[in-house]
Structure 1
Amino acid sequence: MGSKRTSLYLQLADELTEAIASGRLPEGSCLPSLRECASQRNLSLNTVTAAYRLLEDRGLIVSRPQSGFYVRNTLEEPKYSASRLSGAVLSEVQEDLMLTVLEAQRQPGHIDLAFAGPRGKRFYPGERLMRITGSVLRRQSEIVATYAMPPGSKLLREQIARRSQRLGMALTSDDITLTHGANEALHLALRAITRAGDSIGIEAPSYFNLYPLLSALGLKAVEIPTHPQLGLDVDSVENFLAEKRVSALVAMPNVHNPLGCTMPVAAKKRLAKLLAQYKVPLIEDSVYAELQYREPLEPTVKAFDEKGWVLVCSGFSKTLAPDYRLGWIVGGRFSQDIERLKFASSASESMLLSETVGLYLKSGGYEHHLSSLRRLYFAQVSQVRGLIAQYFPEGTLATQPTGGFVLWVELPAKVDSLALFQAALKKGIVIMPGQIYAKGPRYRRCIRLSCCQEIDERFMNAIRTLGKLVKNLL
C-alpha cells in the first residue's frame, strides 16, 4: 500500500514537471491548491502535498503564503542601479513623449499596458460603496448642502490613523489632512517645504509625473541612485546631505514605482536618522504601501521619524475608488502649513465621499478587499513575468516586485525602448518607455508594464507581440 502511495506522488510530480518543461504550465502560472488538486485527481491530500514538496525541492515551483503555489520564474532580475551611467537634461523630445503616451492611451481599440491604474470591476468594491453612499445620503441629507473644511471628515481621518498602525506609524486624526488624491498631497507637501530654486533629491528612476511637477514649482530635480532590489541608496543620500546639495527628498520606500522594490528596514531607520541630523524633510510617497505582498507589512520611514521631518502622502485611487479622488497627507512638523495651503487651493474634500469611505473602512471590509488584491496582483505579475520569459529574447531582465502591479523590464543592450514604443503603437499596444523615468538616456533600454487589468488572451497576445518586436529590433 505504501509503495502505491509513493508511486502516485512521484507520478504526479513527474507529470507536472513535464507540463512545466513543455510550457503547458508556463512560468509564473498558479497551480491548483492542494485540496483542489486532490479533488480533481481523486488523490489523497498527503499524496499531493508530497508531490508539491518534491517540485519545490526540484526548484520548479515556489510557495507564497496565503497565495498558493506558482511555477518558478527563471527570468533574472536587474541587479545594478544606473548610477554609473551619464544623465542629461530632460529634453523636449522626452517631455513630448509623455504627451504621446497619454494621447495613445485615449485611442479606442488600443491595449494599454502603460497605465498604472486598475481597470475592471473585480479591482474595486463598487457595489458596496454605492450602498454605503446611499445610506449616508438617507441618514444625512443635509451633507450635500454643507461646505466641508480642512482637514476633512474626522471619521475618515480616524480610520486612516487606525490603519496606519499596520505600517508602523502612530498617528492621530489630527495628524492627517484629506486631499484631492495623492497627487495633490504631493503638490501640497512640495509647496510647504520648498522655495523656488531649491534642489530636490529624487530616486532614479522615479515616478514620471514628478519631473513636470518640480519644474512647474521652479524646483530642480537631483537624481539619487536607486537599486532595483534595495531601493534608495542611503550612502548616496548621506553624501548629498553632507554636501548640502539638496533641500528636501521625495521617495517611495515601500513598493517603488516603477521598480516595485522595498527598502530594507535597517536602511529606513538610517534614513530617518539622517533626516533628523541634517534637518532635511522627506516626502514619503506611500501610494502602494498597502499592496505589499508580504505580511506583516514592512513599515514606512515615518515609523522611525521622531522629529517630524517625514511627510507621508497616500490615497485610495489605486485600491478603492479612483473617481472619488481621495488622498491624504501627514505633514509632520509642517502640518499647519499643509492645512493652510489646502484651504487656499481647494478648501476640502467631498464630505459625502469621505464619509462613505470612512464607513467602508470602519466596517472591516477594506482589509478583506486588500488581501484579495494582493493575491491577485502577485498572481498576475508572476504570470506576466512568465510570459516575458517565454516570449522575449535572451538577455531580457525583469524586476520581481515586492507589491503592487507594475513590472520594470530591462531589454537586451541593443534595443531602444523609444523605437519599441513606436513599433508597438503601430500594433495598437501602448507601453511606457524608460526614457520617461529619468532626465537622461540611461533607461533607454527599459520599459514599464502594468499588470492591473484582466490577463486575457488579448493581453497575452500583446505580450507575445512585444516579444517579437524586441527580437526584430535586435
Structure 2
Amino acid sequence: MSIIEPQESTLYHQLAETLADAIHNGTWLPGSRLPAIRRCAATHQVSINTVLTAYRLLEDRGLIEARPQSGYYVRGVLPSVKAQASHRAKVSSPSSSKLDLIEAVFAAQNHPDYTNISLACPQNSDFFPTAKISRIMASLLRREPNLIGRYALPPGSERLRREIARRARDLGMTLTTDDITLTHGCMEALQLALRVVTKPGDCVGLETPTYFYLFPLLASLGLNVVEIPTDPQHGLSLDALELVLQEKRIQALVAMPTVQNPLGCTMKLEDKKRLAKLVNRYQIPLIEDGLYDELQFCWPLSPAVKAFDSDGWVLHCASFTKTVTPDFHVGWIAAGRFSEDLARLKSVSSLTESRLLSETLGHFLESGGYDHHLRTMRRRYAAQMDEARGLIARHFPQGTRATQPSGGFIFWVELPGEIDCIALFHRLLQEKICLTPGALYTLSDRCNSALRLTCCYPFDERYTWALKRTGALACEMSGIPAGMI
C-alpha cells in the first residue's frame, strides 16, 4: 500500500471531484473511456500516483470501472426515477394503518441494535462540529456562569437572530432580526405556521411524495390533505397547483422547493419565481420548508422562494439540526405578514429557546467556522451519495431507478417488479435492518414499490452490508437478478 502525503491527498481528492463533476454533468458519458493515467497526470500536472488514487476513489464510489488491458471507463448509471402520470388532487386524511406504520418505522429507527439506512439524521459525531461547539459552550459558561440561571425570554438571542438574517442573504432573502422567530427545531416552526394560517377543517396542499411526519401533524391539527403531483427531477407541479388554487381547494400549502424530502430535487429558478407569484396572487400562505437549503451541492445556492415573496405570503422555516447539532434542536421561521401573530403564538406555547444553546450557536455562526463545516459536509455527502448509488446499481434488482439529488443526503429508490416495500421493511426488521418504505410518503398507493435511503452514516462495513442485504432480499422477493452494470 502506498503512503500518500497530506498535500498529495488533497490533490487526489481535488482531481476525483473534478472528474466526478464531469461525469455528473455529462462531459463523460456512460461507457466512455477516461484518459490514460499518464495522459491525465500530464494534463492536470500531478503525479501518476495521484491519478491512480483518484481513479480508485471514483471506482469505490461506483462512478468508473477498470477493464483489464483497456483502462478505466465510466460506468452505466442508475436510471432516473420517472414522473408519475398526473392525477386529480383529492381531499384525504391518513388512515389508522398509515399512522401505525409511521409509528413502527419511528420505533425501528430509534432501536439501538438496528442498522439504520433510512433515518435522516447523521448518527456519528464526525458529521458535526462537536468539538468546536463544546469549546464555545464551555467558554460561555466560564465567562457568564449565570447564563443558565435566567429565563430565556422572547424574542430570544439577538446574536443568533442576527446571524440567521446575515446568512439568509446567501439564499436571496433580505431579513432583519425582528423578522425571525426562534423555534424548537423545524417541526415546531412548521406546526406554528400551520396553526397561524389555518383552522380545523381546512385543506392543506402537500407535495406527493412528501415528508411523512406531516401527515400525523396535520391530523393532530384537524387539517385535511390535498396531494399535489411532484416531479422527481423538477419538484412541485405548478400547473396542478394553479388548478387547485383556481378552484379554491386549499387554504395553505407546505412544500420543500429546495432539496425536497424524500426526492432530493430542487425546483428551477423560474419555477420558484412562478410559485411565489402564484401564492401572492391567490393569497394562499406557502409554508416553505428550507431544512436542507444550506446542504445544496451547487454554489451559489439556489435562492429560497421567500426571496421572491412580494407581499409576505411565504413563511420560511429552517433549523440547524441537520448541519450543526441535532440535540440543540434550534430552528427558526421568517413568517412574513404573519410574523406578529406567530411570535405571539410561540410565546404562549413554548416561550422561547434556551439562552445557552442559542448563544452557543450564535457564537459558532459568528466565528466563521460554519462555512468551512458546510463545504466539508457537502463534499462528503456528494461522495457518499455516489458510493451508495454504485452499491445499489450492483446489488439491487435490474431495473431499479433512483433520484440524483441536488444536495443533502436523502434519495428515492424505485424497485422493479411491483415489490411490496412494506413487506420488505418487515422482512429486514427480522435481520435488524431499518429502511423507510415509500408508502409512508403519500396517502395514495402510488409509492408501494419505492423506498427512501439516506447517506448520512459512516460508510463502514455495517452500513454497506445492510445496503447489500437490502438489495439481495429485494432480488429474492422480485425474482429479478442483481446488477445492471
Amino acid at match of 1:404: G
How many pairs were matched up?
430
Are 2:160 and 1:156 aligned? yes
CA gap of 1:43–1:214, structure 2 versus 1, over 3 A, is: closer
CA gap of 1:436–1:47, structure 2 versus 1, over 3 A, is: closer
Amino acid at match of 1:166: D
> Hey, what does 1:312 align to over in structure 2?
316
Amino acid at match of 1:463: L
Matches of 1:85 and 1:108 in 2, distance apart?
42
Q: Secondary structure at the match of 2:352?
A: coil
> Hey, what does 1:10 align to over in structure 2?
none
> Hey, what does 1:65 align to over in structure 2?
none
Specify which of 233, 238, 245 is matched with residue 241 of structure 1.
245
> Hey, what does 1:259 align to over in structure 2?
263
Q: Secondary structure at the match of 1:323?
A: coil
Q: What residue ranges of structure 1 are gaps of 5+ in the alignment?
A: 1-15, 17-26, 63-68
Are 2:129 and 1:116 aligned? no
> Hey, what does 2:470 align to over in structure 1?
466
Matches of 2:50 and 2:149 in 1, distance apart?
64
Amino acid at match of 1:234: L
Are 2:398 and 1:389 aligned? no
Specify which of 312, 317, 324 is matched with residue 328 of structure 2.
324
Amino acid at match of 1:81: Q
Are 2:378 and 1:359 aligned? no
> Hey, what does 1:8 align to over in structure 2?
none
Q: Secondary structure at the match of 2:182?
A: strand
> Hey, what does 1:425 align to over in structure 2?
429
Specify which of 79, 83, 86 is matched with residue 82 of structure 2.
79
Matches of 2:85 and 2:94 in 1, distance apart?
16
Amino acid at match of 1:336: E
Matches within 5 A, 1:343-354: 343-354=347-358
Matches within 5 A, 1:54-69: none
Q: Secondary structure at the match of 1:225?
A: strand
Amino acid at match of 1:153: S
Amino acid at match of 2:288: E
> Hey, what does 1:288 align to over in structure 2?
292
> Hey, what does 1:138 align to over in structure 2?
142
Give the conservation status (yes or no) of the 8 Å contact 1:311–1:329. Answer: yes
> Hey, what does 2:457 align to over in structure 1?
453
Matches within 5 A, 1:1-40: none
Once the two structures are TM-superposed, the CA of residue 103 in structure 1 deviates from its matched residue by 1.9
Specify which of 181, 190, 196 is matched with residue 192 of structure 1.
196
Are 2:407 and 1:403 aligned? yes
Amino acid at match of 1:75: L
Give the conservation status (yes or no) of the 8 Å contact 2:89–2:226. Answer: no
Give the conservation status (yes or no) of the 8 Å contact 1:82–1:442. Answer: no
Give the conservation status (yes or no) of the 8 Å contact 1:206–1:257. Answer: yes
TM-score by length of 1: 0.86
Indicate the RMSD between aligned Cα atoms, in angstroms. 2.8
Are 2:439 and 1:435 aligned? yes
Deviates more, 1:69-78 or 1:229-238: 69-78
Matches of 1:233 and 1:145 in 2, distance apart?
50
Q: What residue ranges of structure 2 are gaps of 5+ in the alignment?
A: 1-18, 20-29, 66-71, 479-485
Matches of 2:170 and 2:338 in 1, distance apart?
23
Amino acid at match of 2:86: S
Are 2:151 and 1:179 aligned? no
Give the conservation status (yes or no) of the 8 Å contact 1:86–1:442. Answer: no
CA gap of 1:424–1:130, structure 2 versus 1, over 3 A, is: same
Amino acid at match of 2:127: F
Matches of 2:73 and 2:457 in 1, distance apart?
20
Q: Secondary structure at the match of 2:327?
A: helix
Specify which of 445, 448, 458 is matched with residue 444 of structure 1.
448
Once the two structures are TM-superposed, the CA of residue 289 in structure 1 deviates from its matched residue by 0.5
Once the two structures are TM-superposed, the CA of residue 394 in structure 1 deviates from its matched residue by 1.0
> Hey, what does 1:371 align to over in structure 2?
375
Task: Using the aligned pairs only, state the percent identity.
Answer: 52
Once the two structures are TM-superposed, the CA of residue 60 in structure 1 deviates from its matched residue by 6.5
> Hey, what does 1:105 align to over in structure 2?
109
